[in-house]
A and B are shown apart, each in its own frame.
Chain A
């Protein structure tokens, strides 16, 4: 395998490596005649990122045989890319075959030398016989002045030989984004601005997604169109918790470029670090982020949203799949809890609902039992708890009524991880499926991790 990249593509490539390095430790390079795929899986197996490049992304791209692959430490690649991209003419990567012990990364750097100007020559001083003044190399005449100094021209080339990991653990995951029913598109800088409201050290964030109100926002109506809530997730097992709790309600029509969610409210809780890494990547590539999601426990998928005009960007694509917490924040933490009385609940609980905003619908509480409404066969995973502010009562019931007839049999949702079969990242159908026969998240392996297993994708409980 050999490929060479320069210019803007090199910047994108370097940005890809930076993003991958923020997700996992090992980088897998898989090259076929139709594409180069870089992917990484983090150590807790809760984040998987894949970036693929088509051959025309590169100046030179050649693969001998059907497929070549290797695995290297991302730290080593980051050492290679310490050289500022602006001073790199082109980067060339060469791998003899999948069994090669080393992969070669070569940087051709631009002309690095210049004249050393030392001005007019004076009498070279002598600091005594033991200490000669360093020989300045003579003097020459330029434009009527005598210049003393050293002059040179050269090109600098850096060649790294990076050891390939022996017996690499190459896992490939493909998740069909069409199977995730809800999604939104957001500009990176807008999402950055929203995330700035949260403590920078926040580990996980919960996004609660509800259907946008189809009714026009009425000035006299105290319910605004804030259909999405972001909330900081704080581990309940941590006792000495002095972190900042934040809840942020937004109107998708204002903050998102696009928003699609036409079912009951759902929530997903996932890692912020990986989200921010992908955010930086998309921001650098100047593309919007498309985030696909389903519900708690199902993975979410992020991809750059290339606009119609971005023809030049169609030669690469990226996907970040994050596992979400099994436990839904909306159901109060116990999804198998029997439905509570359907009668309206009095009073509110939790600090956040003591002073509810008059302009938002509050779909969640920090504690309390679930409230069920509508259909008795309501899906236990779908949250039913509501803030019983009397002003919002009628609106909530209205929405509940609208959702009663929702088809609860989510056909597209796999029962366990093994069914995460996807079509390839490009929707052209010609590229081969990358379905890996083994489960990318092995539920048995995670039993030892205790509470940490919440972050791993596990089997979805069967529906009633």
Chain B
């Protein structure tokens, strides 16, 4: 290895994080297939990981720089590179030892454009890893989510309830229709296969707090079940336990955006201002976004 000083001046990014477990949870939530390639994009604001099912489904994980103990960004542009998602997660897992706090250093690029990982907190041992990266051949399909109109079409639901609803909707064995209607304010999921199942979320209007249901006209779109399923199948247990909400928005053309929040807190960190379970500073949260294209009737739609 070259001397630390020389490497630092060459690296686009050197960052340290202390909650590997949380990062792993966040990355696992966008894993819906065994073999997936992820695109990492580095910027001064943080790291974004993008995973895609060609033309049908895209997921993004935002790790803002505030999540890291140290974040030294020295690149001029926005370096992008590809890694195998499974390999990246497995590698991170080897660095996270239960019951011990572990600080992990990520460095890019290495001498051969690889992603380098290193444990930095242990005085008598060192774990070191390199992951080969690939030049992304294609720019990731820009899902370019645009609002459907002047009023956003969105609803928020407990992550656990959304997951439960989507799990139940496997039974009909068909594509799923999602409808929003303003009056009475409700969201309807419907599948019609060898049996029919309809799940209604009926919203109350409460003026004291934020209303997480926004809809000014009736809309309805169909989505392939397996892609809808991918948005909730690997939600980390911590999200379900913490009672977090997930937000769904329907954009122009029926594109569905689903957002989750995953806690990336260091375990058992005492905080003087904790007054309720599940409290987290916003900077200790990773944001997950899924974009699902609606089912198209024509032949050139998603397979």
User: Are B168 and A140 in touch, CB under 8 angstroms?
Assistant: no
Q: Which of A78-118 contact B (CB under 8 A)?
A: 79, 82-83, 102, 112-118
- Interface presence of A150 (CB below 8 A): yes
Complex alpha-carbon distance, A163 and B197, angstroms:
12
Contact A127/B48 with A157-B200, A157-B202 known, Cβ cut-off 8 Å: yes
Report B-chain residues with C-beta under 8 Å of the C-beta of A136.
282
Tell me which of A82, A112, A160 contacts B196 (CB under 8 A): A160
Give A137 to B195 CA distance when docked, in angstroms: 37
Task: Tell me if A118 and B168 are in contact (CB < 8 A).
Answer: no
Contact B200 A159 (CB under 8 A): yes
Decide: A156 and B201 in contact? CB cutoff 8 A.
Answer: yes
Tell whether, in the assembled complex, residue A125 and residue B197 are in contact, meaning their CB atoms are under 8 Å apart: no
Given A83-B168, A163-B194, the answer on whether A157 and B199 have CB atoms closer than 8 Å is yes
Query: From residue B66, how far is it (CB to closest CB) to chain A in Å?
Result: 7
Within 8 Å CB of A154, what residues of B? 157, 201-204, 213
Q: CA of A161 to CA of B195 in the docked complex: distance in angstroms?
A: 6
The interface bits of chain B over 31-45 (1 if a CB of A lies within 8 angstroms of the residue's CB, else 0) are: 000000000010101
A119-B280, A125-B45, A151-B212 known; A131+B204 contact, CB < 8 A: no
B244 within 8 A of A: yes
Q: Which segment of B116-124, B158-166, B227-235 sits at the interface?
A: B158-166
B200 and A156 form a contact (CB under 8 A): yes
Chain A residues near B46 (CB, 8 Å)? 125, 127
- Chain B's closest residue to A87 (CB) is B164
- Choose from A127, A137, A150, A159 the contact partner of B198 (Cβ within 8 Å): A159
Q: Is B253 an interface residue (CB 8 A)?
A: no
* Pairwise interchain contact A114-B66, C-beta atoms closer than 8 A: no
Asked if residues A127 and B212 are in contact (CB atoms below 8 Å), the reply is no
For the complex, give the distance between the alpha carbons of A79 and B280 in Å.
Answer: 37
Closest A-chain residue to B46, C-beta based?
A: A127
Output the nearest chain A residue to B197 by Cβ-Cβ distance: A160
The stretch that binds A, out of B57-65, B90-98, B295-303, is: B57-65
Contacts of A125 in B (CB 8 A): 45-46, 64-66
Report A-chain residues with C-beta under 8 Å of the C-beta of B155: 152
Let me know if B259 is at the binding interface, CB within 8 A: yes
Query: A109 to chain B: closest CB distance in Å?
Result: 8
Q: Give the interface size class of chain B.
A: 35 or more
Interface positions, chain A 139-173, Cβ under 8 Å from B, are 140, 148-163
* Interface status of B156 (Cβ within 8 A of chain A): yes
Which of chain B's residues has its CB closest to A102's CB? B196
Q: Is the C-beta of A76 less than 8 angstroms from some C-beta in chain B?
A: yes
With A121-B282, A133-B287: A150-B247 Cβ-Cβ less than 8 Å: yes
The listed residue (B45, B197, B259, B285) touching A158 by CB distance below 8 A is B197
Q: Are B281 and A120 in contact (CB under 8 A)?
A: yes
Main secondary structure of the interface of A (DSSP, over half): loop
Q: In the complex, which of the residues B60, B64, B195 has the most CB atoms of chain A within 10 Å of its own CB atom?
A: B195
Determine the chain A residues whose CB is within 8 A of the CB of B41 once the complex forms.
131
Known contacts A113-B157, A153-B203, A154-B202; decide if A131 and B245 are in contact (CB<8 Å): no
- Residues of A contacting B245 in the complex (Cβ-Cβ under 8 angstroms): 113-116, 149-152
- Chain B residues with Cβ below 8 Å from A152 are 155-157, 203, 210-213, 245
A128 at the binding interface (Cβ < 8 Å): yes
Contact B261 A116 (CB under 8 A): yes
Smallest beta-carbon distance B79→chain A, Å: 12
| A122 interface contact, C-beta 8 A | yes
Once bound together, how far apart are the Cα atoms of A131 and B289, in whole Å?
11
Residues of B contacting A153 in the complex (Cβ-Cβ under 8 angstroms): 203-204, 206
Q: 19 extra interchain contacts, Cβ-Cβ under 8 A, other than A113-B156, A128-B45, A161-B197?
A: A76-B195, A83-B164, A117-B278, A122-B66, A125-B65, A134-B247, A134-B259, A137-B156, A150-B245, A151-B210, A151-B211, A153-B204, A154-B201, A154-B202, A156-B202, A158-B168, A158-B199, A160-B171, A163-B194
- A-contacting residues of B (Cβ < 8 Å)? 41, 43, 45-46, 48, 60, 62, 64-66, 78, 155-158, 160-161, 164-165, 168, 171, 194-204, 206, 209-213, 243-245, 247, 259, 261, 273, 276, 278-283, 285, 287, 289
Q: Contact residues of A with B, CB < 8 Å? A: 76, 79, 82-83, 102, 112-122, 125-128, 131, 133-134, 136-138, 140, 148-163
A-B contact pairs, 13 of them (CB 8 A): A83-B164, A122-B282, A127-B43, A127-B46, A134-B259, A150-B247, A151-B245, A152-B211, A152-B213, A153-B203, A153-B204, A159-B199, A163-B195
